[in-house]
Chains A and B, each alone.
Chain A
Amino acid sequence: MPRSSPPSLWNALNASHDDLFARFLFGATASVALGDLIRGSALDARGEELRGRSVLIATKDQLTAALTLLELDGVARRLVLCPADLSSEYLPFVVEAAGVDAIVSDRTMPVPDTPGVEYFTTSSPKIQPADYDRTTPLRTEWVLLTSGTTGVPKLVAHTLASLAGAIECREEAETIVWSTFYDIRRYGGLQIFLRAVLCGASLVLASAQEPTTDFLIRAAARGVTHISGTPSHWRRALMSPSANMIAPRYVRLSGEIADQAILTNLQSFYPQANVAHAFASTEAGVAFAVTDGLAGLPASAIGHTPDVDMRVEDGSLRIRSTRIAERYLGPQGRVIPDSDGFVDTGDMLELRGDRYYFVGRRDGVINVGGLKVHPEEVEAVINRHPQVRMSLVRTRKNPITGALVIADVVLNAAPESAGNNVRELQQEILLVCREALPSHKVPAAINFVPSLAVAETGKLMRLHA
C-alpha cells in the first residue's frame, strides 16, 4: 500500500507472512483469529452464492460486519455497509439505489422484505470450514452511507484501492493492537479496520451498546497500542475513570476539528503517545495527518502533501487524489469531483501566520447582523478554559441581528462543586472569548449543561438553524 493495492483483503491476508493465528478481531462478546477466518466462513459456507452480487451488510454487531467484509471482498460485486443506526425507513431506498440483491443479516436489524432480494444469516462468530475459489477476485465496490442530521442517506462508492490509498504500513518492532471508538462502517472507522487488516495488527472493535468505560477496559485488556476517534469521542473518554487504563503509543483524531485544548489534554494524559490529527471525509478520502501536536496544519502542507492535491477556494478546502470517491449511487448517480477532479469538502480554512486552521463547516455558519460566525471557532476558544471539557455553540434567534451566538458548556466538574462559582466561571469563560474573538462571535449567554449529545458518527450533534 498505497500504490499497489491488493486484489482483495483475503488476498492480502493470504499473502502476508504474519502468524494469522496470533492476530484477532476482538468484538464485545466474541473474538475471531484471522487464521481461522481465511480458511473458513462466517456465512454458513454460503459465500459462494454471493459471488458477483450486490450485498447489503445489515448487522448490529461490528464483528459480524468485519467478518463479512473480509469474507466477501473480492467475491461480491458490491458491498454496502449499513451503519447500525440507519433508520429502517431508508433501507428500501438503499436497496433500490445500490441494486442490492442479497442481504447479510444477523437478524438483529429489521430489514425489509423485498422481492428479488435473498437473505443470508451470519453464523458469526462461529467460523466453519469453507473453501472459496479466490483465483480471480472481483474488484468489489465498497459503498459507504453518509447522512446529515436528517434526510435520505447518500451512497458513496469507493474501491479497496481508494479506501486504502493513505495506508502505509511501517515496520514495527512490537505488535500493534488497533482500536477505534468509531463504527467500522463509517469512513473513520473503516480506515482503522483496513489499517489493522493490511498492516499486521489485531483490532478491538467497539460496540454501540457499550459504555465508554467498559470499552476502554476491554481495549486495555487486549493491550491496545493504537487508537482513534473523533475529538468528541476523546473528550468523553477523558471523562471516563478508565481512561488511564490504556497506554497507547499512537492516538489519532479525525472527523471533527481537533482544537489545541484536546490535543494538549491528550498529550499530557498519554505522555508516551504520538498524538496525530487527520483530515478525511467519506467523499474526499484521507488528505493528511498532522503530527506536530498543534491544531491546524502548516500552510506548506497545501501543495506539498505527497499524492494529494489541495487548494483553498472561497475559503473551503478542495482535495484531489486517488482516494476520493468517484460518485454517488442512486437516482441522480452524481459524479462527486468537479471538472478539475477536486472534491469540495465544505470545511472552511483560515490562514493565520504560517498555518491554516479549520474554522467550521460552510453550512454551519451563524449570521449575526450580517457577520459570519462558525460555531466551531468559538468552541475552540471556550475549550481553552481549563475547567471546560467540551462545548457547543449554537444560534439563538434575535429580532435585532437576526441571530445571536450562545454556548452550552460541559465542565470537568459540576458547576456547583467546591470552588466553582457559576457566575464567576461564566465571566471567566466570556473573558477568554472577548480576548480572542470579535464581539459578534462572543456568546451572548453561557449555559452550563451536564452533557452534550454525540451522534453515532462520533460527532457533536448540531441542529442547524
Chain B
Amino acid sequence: MTHVSIRSSVMNEMQQVAEEQNKPLAPLVDDLQLLDSGLDSLCFAIIVARLEDSLGVDPFSAAAAEDAPFPVTLGDFISFYENAAK
C-alpha cells in the first residue's frame, strides 16, 4: 500500500469514528497534537482496530512490546503506520 493511501485510510477512519462517536474533530493537519484532536482514547482504540483490519498492521501493539514511544502528533501517527506497513 502506498503512503498516499495509508494517509487517506488514517484520515478517513478518524473522520468516520469522530462522526460515529459524535466528537467535533479538529482540522487534520500534520502538527495537530492527537490529544487536541477532539478524539478520546476509545475513539483511538476503534481507529487502531479498524486500521489493523484494513491495513493488516498494529504498530501500537508492536511499539508497546518494544517499549517504543507512541506518536504525539497526527504526522507521527501517520508515519507510525507508514513505517509499520513497509
Contacts and interface: CB of A to CB of B under 8 A. Distances in A.
Contacts of A51: none
B58 A399 contact: yes
Interface string A438-465: 0110001100000000000000000000
A400 B21 contact: no
A368 interface: yes
Interface residues of A, number: 15
Contacts of A404: 45-46, 49
Contacts of A368: 42, 45
A394 B39 CA distance: 24
Contacts of B46: 404, 444
A400 to B, nearest CB: 4
A10 to B, nearest CB: 60
Given A399-B58, A399-B61, A439-B21, A369 B49 contact: no
Interface in A382-412: 396-401, 404
Contacts of B42: 368-369, 401, 439-440
A400 B41 CA distance: 7
Contacts of B48: 398-400
A401 B45 contact: yes
A interface majority secondary structure: mixed
B1 interface: no
A430 interface: yes
Nearest to A399: B60
Nearest to B53: A445
A369 B41 contact: yes
Contact of A396 (B20, B44, B49, B63): B49
A444 B21 contact: no
Interface in B37-56: 41-42, 44-46, 48-50, 53
B19 to A, nearest CB: 11
Interface in A337-377: 368-369
Contacts of A398: 45, 48-49
In this complex, which of A369, A399, A434, A444 has the most chain B Cβ atoms within 10 angstroms of its Cβ?
A399
A425 to B, nearest CB: 16
B20 A400 contact: no
Contacts of A397: 61
B64 interface: yes
Contacts of B50: 444-445
A379 B46 CA distance: 19
A277 B64 CA distance: 47
A395 to B, nearest CB: 12
Nearest to A431: B20
Contact of B60 (A400, A430, A434, A444): A400
A279 B30 CA distance: 56
Given A444-B46, A444-B49, A445-B49, A401 B41 contact: yes
A399 B48 CA distance: 8
In this complex, which of A396, A398, A445 has the most chain B Cβ atoms within 10 angstroms of its Cβ?
A398
Contacts of B45: 368-369, 398-401, 404, 444
B52 to A, nearest CB: 9
Nearest to A400: B45
Interface string A409-444: 000000000000000000000100010000110001
Contacts of B20: 430, 434
Given A368-B42, A401-B42, A445-B53, 20 more contacts: A369-B42, A397-B61, A398-B45, A399-B45, A399-B58, A399-B60, A399-B64, A400-B45, A400-B60, A401-B41, A404-B45, A404-B49, A434-B20, A439-B21, A439-B42, A440-B42, A444-B45, A444-B49, A444-B50, A445-B49
Interface of A: 368-369, 396-401, 404, 430, 434, 439-440, 444-445
The 9 A-B pairs with the shortest beta carbon distances in the complex, nearest first, are A399-B60, A400-B45, A401-B45, A399-B61, A444-B46, A398-B45, A400-B44, A400-B41, A399-B64
